[in-house]
């Protein structure tokens, strides 16, 4: 198996795994099912991943890395307002583009455990994410507001009710909710 | 076993089951563990519930019935504003009083399945709940806002970060977020 081909198979494998996880849950999906859906042997799956846990981590990892980048970029903005805008824009965009995975995050403990494991220092990352929204000296309302916002956007964005919406419409709608909670003006487009 | 004693055991059993579900997940909790924690025999547990599924349903059921009552009362209010106020007050209060169970709803597919089963016509109930918030002729923003609000309040209210808050403080804080999203004035106390 040459390297380019292997890379291609790996990408297809992760896409197929995500689809099967969404349909059957992580628990209900076997390596054999993934192999069958791809039309390859179980040995071909093993070439890339030894366990299902490795697959769930690899499915979640790029999205989490992207989120870390958004948080870092947001923290680098010079005003509180710009930091909040950057995080809202980035977080909503991430949720919308990865709706299927986000829905899975919110409903399946298998992938939730994979996320915990991927975000190595997950507690400190979560704190950095919250800190962008709540500022350096937050009161209680700020902390609870941030949690309602992040959880609400993630769950609503991954819910079956909004599945028919195209990305742009869902993005603008979720952003509208976030901006309202944070008293941010509508984005200059 | 006399009836009063049996009723008492049933109530204690459900409380103990909820605590064990919270600690170990529904999957990770056995009838034997519940019996041991109660200091009774497994036969005593079987006297009340034949399966773990019956227990999860019975844990969830009173809270769901209470939520149905809140939705009905809200719909009976005469103005849209009063309907929204009633639903926000009732929903937040329910989440706060049943934090442990709500946290479990949001994170454990075992109890989520029990909820689906308990709410017999769950689709129509969910629609009636949403309809109070979005009104009879909702636009997209209204629907997404309602979903962000309900999911966000449930998740934030059950999150470990807010566990140290007393009920009254958490209730007022979550209500503040909800009122802001719905442009409702602060409650007259």
For residue range A92-126, what is the model confidence (pLDDT) as tens digits?
999 999 988 888 877 666 666 666 666 555 667 77
- Stretch (H or E) spanning B14: helix B3-24
Contact A157, A96 (CB under 8 A): yes
Interchain CB contact of A138 with B (< 8 Å): no
Q: Do A156 and B144 touch (CB under 8 A)?
A: yes
CATH 1.10.357 assigned to B52-181 = yes
Instruction: Report the CATH number of the A56-181 domain.
Output: 1.10.357
- pLDDT over 60 (residue A3): no
Q: Nearest by CB to B108, which of A109, A162, A170?
A: A109
The pLDDT value recorded for residue B114 is 63
Q: Nearest by CB to A144, which of B25, B109, B156?
A: B156
Mean pLDDT lowest for which of A159-163, B78-82, B95-99, B113-117? B113-117
- pLDDT over 80 (residue B14): yes
The pLDDT value recorded for residue A74 is 96
Contact A119, A64 (CB under 8 A): yes
Contact A159, A100 (CB under 8 A): no
Question: So where are chain B's domains?
Answer: 1-50, 52-181
Mean pLDDT, residues A75-92 taken together:
95
Interface with A, mutate which of B96, B152, B184 (most A CBs under 10 A): B152
- pLDDT over 90 (residue B101): no
**A55 vs B185: CA distance, rounded Å:** 49
- pLDDT over 80 (residue B171): yes
For helices A99-107 and A3-24, what crossing angle results, to 10°?
A: 50
Greater confidence, A18 or A126? Answer: A18
The pLDDT value recorded for residue A17 is 94
Q: Do A109 and B112 touch (CB under 8 A)?
A: no
For residue range B108-167, what is the model confidence (pLDDT) as tens digits?
666 666 666 665 556 677 788 888 999 888 888 888 889 899 989 988 898 887 888 999
Q: Do B174 and A148 touch (CB under 8 A)?
A: yes
Interchain CB contact of A166 with B (< 8 Å): no
Q: Do A148 and B25 touch (CB under 8 A)?
A: no
User: Residue for token digits 């309302």?
Assistant: A141
For residue range A58-76, what is the model confidence (pLDDT) as tens digits?
988 888 889 999 999 999 9
Mean pLDDT lowest for which of A126-130, B29-33, B103-107, B160-164? B103-107
For helices A140-158 and B140-158, what crossing angle results, to 10°?
A: 120
**B21 vs B30: CA distance, rounded Å:** 9
- pLDDT over 70 (residue A38): yes
Q: Do B161 and A153 touch (CB under 8 A)?
A: no
- Output the average pLDDT for chain B: 85
What residues contact A8, with CB distance under 8 A and at least 6 apart? none
Tell me the CATH architecture of domain A1-50: Orthogonal Bundle (1.10)
The pLDDT value recorded for residue B35 is 95
Contacts across the A-B interface (CB distance below 8 Å)? 94
Q: Do B181 and A176 touch (CB under 8 A)?
A: no
Mean pLDDT lowest for which of A10-19, A178-187, B7-16? A178-187
- pLDDT over 60 (residue B33): yes
Greater confidence, B94 or A141? Answer: B94
Task: Give how far B125 is from chain A: nearest CA, Å.
Answer: 15
The pLDDT value recorded for residue A109 is 62
Portion 15-74 of A in contact with B at CB < 8 A: 25
Portion 72-131 of B in contact with A at CB < 8 A: 106-109, 112
Contact B24, B33 (CB under 8 A): yes
Mean pLDDT lowest for which of A137-141, A145-149, B46-50? A137-141
Interchain CB contact of B152 with A (< 8 Å): yes
Q: Nearest by CB to B156, which of A107, A148, A170?
A: A148
For residue range B67-94, what is the model confidence (pLDDT) as tens digits?
999 999 999 999 999 999 999 999 999 9
- Output the average pLDDT for chain A: 85
Q: Do A109 and B155 touch (CB under 8 A)?
A: no
Instruction: Tally the residues of chain A.
Output: 189
């Amino acid at each position: 198996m040459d390297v380019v081909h292997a890379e291609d198979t790996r990408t297809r494998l992760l896409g197929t795994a995500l689809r099967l996880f969404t349909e059957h849950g992580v628990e209900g999906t076997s390596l054999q099912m993934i192999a069958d859906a791809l039309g390859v042997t179980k040995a071909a799956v093993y070439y890339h991943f030894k366990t299902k846990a490795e697959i769930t981590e690899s499915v979640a990892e790029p999205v989490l890395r992207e989120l870390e980048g958004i948080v870092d970029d947001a923290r680098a903005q010079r005003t509180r307002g710009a930091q909040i805008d950057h995080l809202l824009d980035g977080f909503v965009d991430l949720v919308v583009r990865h709706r299927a995975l986000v829905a899975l995050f919110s409903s399946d403990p298998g992938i939730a455990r994979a996320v915990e494991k991927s975000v190595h220092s997950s507690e400190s990352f979560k704190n950095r994410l919250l800190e962008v929204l709540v500022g350096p000296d937050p009161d209680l309302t700020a902390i609870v507001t941030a949690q309602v916002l992040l959880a609400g956007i993630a769950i609503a964005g991954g819910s079956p009710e909004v599945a028919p919406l195209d990305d742009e419409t869902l993005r603008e709608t979720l952003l509208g909710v976030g901006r309202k909670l944070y008293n941010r003006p509508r984005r200059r487009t």
